[in-house]
Chain A
Amino acid sequence: MTLNPILPLWLIVSLLVAMTIAFVWMEYGRPLKYKYLRLIAICIMMLSVAGLCLRPEYQSTMESNTVLLTEQYSNKIVDSLLKKNPALDLIRSNEAAEFKNSKVLVSYQQLSDPTVKIKAVVGNGIPEYAMASVSAKFEYYPPKPSSGVTNLYLPKDVQRNNEYHIQGNFFNTKDSVKLFLENAGNKTDSIQLGRGLHRFDLRFTPRANGNLIYHLRSSDDHIVRPIPLHVNPERPLNILVLQGYPTFEIQYLKTFLADKHHQLALRYQLSKAVFRFEYANRKSLAVNRINQSSLTEFHLLISDTETLSKLSAPERAAITDAIKHGLGFLATFPATPKSIQLEFLPINFKKTLHDTTTLKIGSSTYSLPAIPLRPNISETISSVTKNRTGALSGYTYRDKGRIGFQLLQETYRLVLSGDTVNYGRLWSSLIDGISRTNEKNSEILLDQNVPIYTDEPFNAKVISSESKPSLFADGISVPLIEDEAIDNIWHLKLWAGRPGWHQLSLDRDAAQYFVFNDGDWRDLRAASTIESNHVASAQLTASKASTTNIPYPPIYFYVMFVIAAGCLWLAPKL
């Protein structure tokens, strides 16, 4: 038992003791009947006053018996829970349907109240952002799976005219469903799915820069799900080409890259000390001697093995060093290569019989000449173009840099046949893979695969080498919390504003995020919530049986006081 005195304990006790002694002494002296009864009555009276002033409490153990009903809960499950334990308290979230005798949970914040002990959660579950309010293990009863997207993976760093994939999982309750990817009503791709959970992969090629919204539409319910995509502006490369003499292949590649606004410097060696330079989209830069400083500004070096073998030893060393520090190097081959083993081409090739090869680019099939060499299977290379004979182009890593090779010859035939799109595919993916990566000081990492809604918090991460990075959300400064374990990692929590595009900016980096309308992506949201509730219900530990102090009802003390006082008044009169 514990006391909860209304005044300091010592004061109450001393006053009551003094008063009791005084009353007993006075009563004892009175020449009236039932002396001992009156003295007992005085004691009882003073005890009841003490009870009123000291407010004693007793300890009681509490058990969780609240069931939280959330969106899509099953009546059957709730009924069976109530049948098992009729004393259960029912509370329901705002989105959940009504259930008799259930109270409404105004905010998920209420779950953090220690008196609310969640025994079970029925339905989609507690939203991910509110999961922190729940500290104890609970039983989770998810709803029956319904038709819709359960996972979504959006491409990152989207560029114009490149092909990307939107992937995800779709749970289908019908025999067949067709998913369409649309851009402003124009169908981009579609896929037919059968009953059950299926993975989908839809392709698209953005044709404009900026913030675009694609739509995913399912044929069964015609729900249109917006897919926001930010298409980054072009970032041109700085490329150096070293050649002994001009070839059609390099001339066409030069024209293609120059048309795409890349900066190019080409050097042809006419004689030992006489060069011919060609530049595109850049200032002149006479690279007579190759050294490490002259290579630092380039993202990529393209050269054929024959030209490289004719370079002086210091020049070759400079190239090797530059590759180690991040320069991309693409090796092409003359039609009849004399030597293929170069110090900076750490790939072993094997001879093959095939001097022409057939390969599929996009939906077209081409037959092109190729150097009769293929990298050994044991080589750890990332192949970019390959067919059944082996890798035709690809790259490998050397420290920070990458070294690639192109075995295909006369690829300009594609341009001559008017197929610049597939020519672009052939070269862009290879050059993309090889060229130097620009390092940036800071980056915002944002998970766009889970939809963000108005007035709901979402988390983001920042990598920054600055001591105090300042982040702005739509121009308003946002505080960052530094990671307690890892340096240069910062965390932030933001509450999304009105639906539409928003921007986070940090130093010279910026990230776009899209806030959805409440009705968008309900299926994906439900799937994500169900998953997090499954995890939480499995991971959280069961709370120990908690105790609480319950005060004795004061009415008892008051009644005792009245009876005792009554005895005191009545006894002399008997």
Chain B
Amino acid sequence: MSISDVRYHIQKVTRRYIAMRSIEILLSAFSVALVLYSFGSLLPLSRFVLVMTCLLAAALFAYFRLRALNLFNISNNDVVRFINRQHPELQESGELLLRDDNDLTTLQKLQQLRSAKHFETLYPTLKLPSQLGTTLITFVISIGLSLALAYVSKLKLENPRSTAGQTKDSQTQENVPAGINKVFVEIEPPKYTRLGAQKITSFTLNIAEGSSVSWKLNFTEPVKGANIILYGRDTVAMQEQGQMYSASKRINQTGFYQVSWTNVDGSKKYSDYFQIIVIRDQPPIVKVDNLEQFIQLSANDNLKVSMMSTLADDYGLNDAYVIATVSKGSGESVKFREEKLKFNNPLNIQGKAIIASLLLDLKKLGLDPGDELYFYVEATDIKVPKFNKSRTETFFIAIKDTAEMTTSVDPGLGVDLLPEYFRSQRQIIIDTEKLLKDKSKIDKKEFNSKSNELGYDEKILRLRYGEFLGEEFETSIGPHAGPPSDADVNQDVTKVYGHQHDTEKEHEAVVEPSNSHSHADNNSSNKNDKGDPSKEYMHVHDSEEEASFFTMSIRAKLKAAVSIMWDAELHLRMFEPQKSLPFQYKALKLLKEISQDSRVYVHRTGFDPPPLKEEKRLTGELTELKTSEINKNQKDQENYPAIRKALAVIEANNNSDGIIVTPEIKSILLKAGNELSGAALQQPGRYLKSLSLLKSVSEGEVKEAQMSGALQSIRSTFYSLLPAEASSPQVRRKSVHVMEDQFLENLTKNSKGTEK
């Protein structure tokens, strides 16, 4: 390697060092900028400011690093000095390689040659100081970090409110109205919600119910006074605190608000409308998970019922319990006892969502067969001052009572429809059993007589139930009933008393009462009546098949019961009580089921007319009657009159480029705005945009290019607000041509002539 080659290589090394260091610095600076940007994007800063800050930081970092490494002034000599230090075999004479040959002494030349030789050997292994590896690792880490931060930032944007009460910071999207420089809104949710206070710099409020909101405003120009107008009606005066104006208010209602301020020249200015969305504290959700609404148990069943209930609330539960009512007895002697039961697990109800359980021991609650337990679960939340309360539907647990047969068909009936002298099916069974027991003790005649009496009782009972089925064709209960005569005994009793379906029609054929009206809706009967003109003048009763106090399933059961009672009666009349017994039991079972199925019936109360003056009644005295008159003028009660007026103004300008807002039009639009704000209170999300546009149009703040779109939007809102009303008849107006008159005259004349 010649000296010149050595020099060339030294120069190459220098350049390589500079390049390496530069890359290092660049990577480090980029890493710094990247990390800074990622952190900055989490803060509410504008993108431009953030980018500029990051670039500046990177530039400063690079500059100071360059200065530290002295890369600006690095030369071949510095490199050679470094090599000298690193490689002692050069004997500190590396600089000789760079010096001009002419300036060197012979000894120096010799040393130069030696150094050149050493340099040639060490050149391939020459290592310059570098942190490129570390820098690269740092760079990769910084990229990873920034990606992680970007993900966090994205999550934050997607879920601006992780909990109710936190408000989205929409400063970047929302235009701060002219005149207002800065806004700071502090939201303090109610303490029981356990939500933290929020500070935002936007006007739109998304808050928990009952939050206290404090506004701090700074205006671009000095102002005389400022107010917050809530819901278009409540004005809250703002207090001046240096350059800031502040006000606070507890917000409970969804709606809108705006800021108004008085300029120094006395003119009043209003801001845009801003939305207030109040997130209501929802009442607790209460559910019973494992029970049917109606449970019927028999006395032999396990009378311990386990109940599981799911309880949840948005902010937390305060208490939950079961209200149980035990109903004992029947008819007018029914007694109720109410108990408040605490859950077994957990004993203390707290938290946002819990599953609570309770073991209902029906025996402990004092339930006997025939008694019923009504219960529901009620829960309250932690809301103050007044908690929210909710409850489940009422659940029923009844213990079947098969031992008792009430005389009433319906324990719920207000009036007992069965007369005193009826014997219930149960009583007849007991008597029948007693008769069978005493059969050996009494003679046959008495036995037969008692059996017949029981059959008579069975008949009365059957007829009574038959009435509920509309079986009017039967004779009355009392007069015709009696023990059979001797002649009757000789007849075929099965034919006389047996339940024969084929003979049913014969009974029905007897029913033919008449009257003069028929029912319009009875289409089916009309169809059948087509062939018989006399039917038109008859009073046709409703079909007995459809006339009943009961629903179809109960009717079917009752019909079956009556049918079985026929057979029971038949065997009693035939002096065969033992054969009758199974039928009686069957009938009893059916009647018991019917009794359980029937519904509560409430009797109507009558109208009490005012007392009549007896002395004036039917005298025909009319002297006090005089011609009288009432005059009533309907006031103009048109709904949304201002909106209708404003609509006419907008429609008139619909085809032109825009509205020139004269003071008159401004007044119309402002009045329409007042009416619209009333509607916006109910549905701020729907009408607030149009309300703001209307305000901008009336203030002349809308640009020409946007005017058409603004008017279109306002029109659309106005039309959607106008309600559907009943149509009204109108006076028809028509010009009548002489020829039409003549035509009508001739037509009338001709038609009269034809009639004659």
Interface residues of A (CB under 8 A from B): 157, 159-163, 183-186, 205, 207-213, 232, 234-237, 256-262, 270-271, 274-281, 283-284, 286, 299, 353-357, 372, 399-400, 420-421, 423-425, 427-429, 431-432, 435-443, 463-465, 486-489, 499-501, 509
Binds A, one of B433-441, B464-472, B661-669, B732-740: B732-740
Contacts of B732 in A (CB 8 A): 157, 432, 435, 437-438
Nearest residue, chain A, Cβ from B751: A399
* Neighbouring B residues of A399 by C-beta, 8 Å: 744, 748
Is B536 interfacial (CB 8 A cutoff)?
yes
Contact in complex: B728, A443 (CB < 8 Å) = no
Q: How far apart sit A429 and B738, CA to CA, in the bound complex (Å)?
A: 28
Are B651 and A161 in contact (CB-based, < 8 A)? no
Q: Is the CB of B520 within 8 A of A353?
A: yes
Roughly how many angstroms separate A180 CA and B117 CA in the complex, as a whole number? 95
Chain A residues with CB below 8 A from B656, complex form? 500
- Closest beta carbon of chain A to B546's beta carbon, Å: 18
Q: Who on chain A is nearest to B715 by CB? A: A184
Most chain A beta-carbon neighbours within 10 Å: one of B637, B651, B738: B651
Q: Which single member of A275, A424, A464 contacts B728 (CB below 8 Å)? A: A424
Inter-chain CA distance A81–B748, complex, in Å, is: 60
Query: In the assembly, what is the distance between CA of A489 and CA of B521, in Å?
Result: 56
**B386 in contact (CB, < 8 A):** no
Contact in complex: B734, A278 (CB < 8 Å): no
Of all chain A residues, the one with the shortest Cβ separation from B711 is A184
- Using Cβ atoms and an 8 Å threshold, which residues of chain A touch B722? 207-208
The answer to whether B731 touches A271 (Cβ under 8 A) is no
Residue of B520, B720, B728, B736 touching A161 (CB-CB under 8 A): B728
User: What are 24 of the A-B contact pairs (CB < 8 Å)?
Assistant: A161-B727, A185-B712, A185-B716, A207-B722, A207-B725, A208-B651, A213-B654, A235-B731, A236-B731, A237-B729, A257-B728, A260-B728, A270-B627, A271-B625, A279-B630, A284-B629, A286-B629, A400-B744, A421-B726, A423-B726, A424-B726, A439-B735, A499-B655, A501-B655
B735 with A274: CB separation less than 8 A: no
Given known pairs A237-B729, A421-B726, A428-B726, the reply for A276 and B629 (CB within 8 Å) is: yes
Interface residues of B (CB under 8 A from A): 517-521, 526, 536, 622, 625-634, 636-637, 644, 647-648, 651-652, 654-656, 712, 715-716, 718-720, 722-739, 744, 748
CB of A299, distance to nearest CB on chain B (Å):
6
CA distance A161 to B726 in the complex (A): 6
Docked-complex contact A279 and B631, CB < 8 angstroms: yes
Among B626, B634, B719, point to the contact of A186 (Cβ < 8 A). B719
A235 touches B730 (CB 8 A): yes
Would you call A437 and B632 a contact (CB within 8 A)? no
B731–A439 CB distance below 8 A: no
- Taking a contact as CB atoms under 8 Å apart, the answer to whether A420 and B536 are in contact is no
B496 to chain A, nearest CB (A): 42
Assess the A276–B716 pair: CB atoms within 8 A: no
CB <8 Å contact, B733 and A262? no
* Contact call A443/B735, Cβ cutoff below 8 A: yes
Given contacts A211-B651, A421-B726, contact A435 B634 (CB under 8 A): no
Contact of A277 among B521, B630, B731 (CB under 8 A): B630
A56 to chain B, nearest CB (A): 60
Residue ID in chain A nearest B735 by CB atoms: A443
Q: Are B724 and A208 in contact (CB under 8 A)?
A: no
Bound-complex Cα distance A399 to B748 (A): 7
Cβ–Cβ < 8 Å partners of A235 in chain B: 730-731, 733
Nearest 6 CB-CB pairs, A to B?
A: A424-B726, A443-B735, A354-B520, A431-B729, A260-B728, A277-B629
**Hey, which chain B residues are within 8 Å of A443, CB to CB?**
734-735
Taking CB atoms, residues of chain B closer than 8 Å to A489 are 737
Instruction: Please state if B647 and A208 are interface contacts (CB–CB under 8 Å).
Output: yes
Docked pose: A260 CA to B629 CA in angstroms: 21
Is there contact, CB below 8 Å, between B725 and A161? yes
CB-CB under 8 A for A421 and B634, given A284-B629, A432-B732, A465-B738: no
Please pick, from A262, A279, A501, the residue contacting B632 in the complex, using a CB distance under 8 A: A279
Q: How far is the CA of A278 from the CA of B633 in the complex (A)?
A: 11
CB distance from A282 to the nearest CB of B (A): 8
Name the contact of A278 in the complex, choosing from B632, B647, B731 (C-beta under 8 A).
B632
| Chain B minimum-CB-distance residue to A352 | B520
Contact A353 B716 (CB under 8 A): no
User: Contacting A437 at CB < 8 Å: which of B627, B728, B734?
Assistant: B734
Instruction: Say whether, besides A209-B648, A211-B652, A280 and B633 are in contact (CB < 8 Å).
Output: yes
The residue of chain B having its C-beta at the shortest distance from the C-beta of A188 within the complex is B719
B725 touches A356 (CB 8 A): no
Closest to B655 in A: A500
Distance in Å from the Cβ of A290 to the closest Cβ of chain B?
Answer: 15
Q: A208-B644, A209-B644, A356-B521 are in contact. Are A432 and B725 (CB under 8 A)?
A: no
Closest to A256 in B: B726
5 additional A-B pairs beyond A185-B712, A234-B730, beta carbons within 8 Å, are A162-B727, A281-B634, A425-B727, A437-B731, A441-B735
Interchain CB contact under 8 A, A440 and B734: yes
Which B residues are CB-close (under 8 A) to A432? 729-730, 732
A356 touching B625, Cβ below 8 Å? no
B520: contacting residue among A234, A357, A465, CB under 8 A: A357
Q: How far is the CB of A484 from chain B (nearest CB, A)?
A: 15
Bound: A542/B715 CA distance, A:
55
Bound together, the chains give a CA A437 to CA B632 distance in angstroms of: 26
* A355-B518 Cα distance, complex, nearest whole Å: 9
Cβ–Cβ contact B733 & A438, under 8 A: yes
Contacts of A261 in B (CB 8 A): 634, 636
Report the nearest B residue to A422, measured CB to CB: B726
Contacts of B536 in A (CB 8 A): 353
**A278 lies within 8 A of B729 (CB):** no
Interface pair A353/B727, CB less than 8 Å apart = no
Residues of B within 8 A of A232 (CB): 730
* B730 contact set on A, CB distance < 8 A: 159, 232, 234-237, 432
Q: Which of B518, B634, B718, B723 contacts A259 (CB 8 A)?
A: B634
A208 touches B627 (CB 8 A): no
Q: How far is the CB of A462 from chain B (nearest CB, A)?
A: 9
Query: Chain B's nearest CB lies how many Å from the CB of A404?
Result: 12
Q: Which residues from B are CB-within-8-Å of A277?
A: 627-630
- Residues of chain A contacted by B526 (CB below 8 angstroms): 353
Bound-state Cα–Cα, A432 to B735, Å: 17
> Smallest distance from the beta carbon of A370 to chain B beta carbons, Å?
8
In the complex, the chain B residue whose C-beta lies closest to that of A462 is: B735
Which residues does chain B contribute within 8 Å of A185, judged by CB atoms? 712, 715-716
Neighbouring B residues of A356 by C-beta, 8 Å: 520-521
Which residue from B521, B633, B644, B723 sits with its C-beta under 8 Å from A281?
A: B633
Q: How far is the CB of A10 from chain B (nearest CB, A)?
A: 61
Given A277-B627, A356-B520, is A428 in contact with B727 using a C-beta cutoff of 8 Å? yes
Asked if A428 and B728 make an inter-chain contact with CB atoms under 8 angstroms apart, the answer reads yes
Closest to A268 in B: B628
B631 proximity list for chain A (CB < 8 A): 278-280, 283-284
Q: Considering only CB atoms, which chain B residue lies closest to A420 in the complex? A: B726
Complex contact B727–A424 (CB within 8 A): yes
Residue from the list B622, B723, B737 in contact with A271, Cβ < 8 A: B622
